[in-house]
Amino acid sequence: MHTRVFVLGLLLGLSLVGDTGSAAPDQTFAGKPMGQVKHLKDFQVVEFRRYTVKEGEREHFAQYFESYFPEAFEQLGSIAVGTFLERKDPSHFTWIRAFHNMDDRAKINAEFYYGPLWREHAATMNHLMTDSDNVLLLRSLKPERTVAVYPAVDPVTEPQGAQGVVVAVIFTIEANGVDAFVHEAEPVFASYREAGVQEAAVLVSYEGVNNFPQLPVRTDGPHVLWLGVLRNDEELEKRLRPLLEGSVKKLSATGLLRVAPEVVVLDPTHRSRLRWWPEEGK
């Protein structure tokens, strides 16, 4: 592992994994309109960060993360979009961080990782990790399709914490094949939306230089990352899973992929912003 100088998180470490079933009857989003986060927009540079944590320590890691770091990033001008536990691999803690642009990424990372908060907690966080270099550095496909930023979890009106299921599909593309792949994939992504899946982002690899090399990123791209959110496991199995099976075969047949797509099912941690969210007007 290169640098273990990083890791981030949020305030108030309560219980961790949101129930992947339906939202509780008493859970309400009243008082949490999307308008209250209208200033948190235009985050065009995104990191999809997948950490490997020591056996049996993932929930502790997530609790530390959520207790200390997300508000710090928000104050500095970036955003912790979501924090998750991967279902397939019980050692993986995954989170998404976004910046307005690459200049902000370099500046904010320097302020954070050389600042007092990280200095206080770095030893604890690094001790729990065995790898932190599995990171995709991405940009939005189109400005309006960058990561969705939802209001912070309300500890009063959302006592059970973040709910829902988040799905990431990672496509590894042949060199110079991103535009052609996106053209082929757009009808597929549209079919997910038509099935009732909330599209949270469509992102592609950032092809420039990593301007904060203290935090390594993957260089095996290019990649396309699709993110979607569903209310619960029932919707995952009925709405999205059948479409994924067919579309993965269809997109693999284009010859534009170097490996089979990776489907990552993510359970939001207690305070994850990215979670199931009632669509406005419904």
Q: Is residue 232 part of a domain?
A: yes
Q: Is residue 240 part of a domain?
A: yes
Q: Which residues have C-beta within 8 Å of that of residue 2, sequence separation ≥ 6?
A: 133, 216
**Nearest to 271, CA basis, from 36, 42, 68:** 68
Q: Which residues have C-beta within 8 Å of that of residue 107, sequence separation ≥ 6?
A: none
The CATH number linked to 231 is 3.30.70.100
Q: How many domains does the chain have?
A: 1
User: Full-prediction pTM beyond 0.75?
Assistant: yes
The pLDDT score that the predictor gives to residue 274 is: 98
Burial 175-192 (b: 16+ CB within 10 A, else e): eebbeebbeebeebbeeb
Q: Is residue 236 part of a domain?
A: yes
Cα→Cα distances 89→12, 43, 50, 115, 186, Å: 25, 28, 11, 32, 29
Q: Is residue 243 part of a domain?
A: yes
Q: Is residue 91 part of a domain?
A: yes
Per-10-residue mean pLDDT for the chain, 282 residues long? 40 38 40 80 96 98 98 98 97 98 98 98 98 97 91 94 98 96 96 96 96 97 97 96 92 94 97 87 40
Q: Is residue 253 part of a domain?
A: yes
Q: Is residue 131 part of a domain?
A: yes
How do 165-172 and 92-99 pair as beta strands? unpaired
Q: Residue 133 is part of which domain span?
A: 38-268
3-class SS letters over 165-228: EEEEEEEEECCCCHHHHHHHHHHHHHHHHHCCCEEEEEEEECCCCCCCCCCCCCCCCCEEEEEE
**Tokens coding 5:** 């100088």
Q: Is residue 150 part of a domain?
A: yes
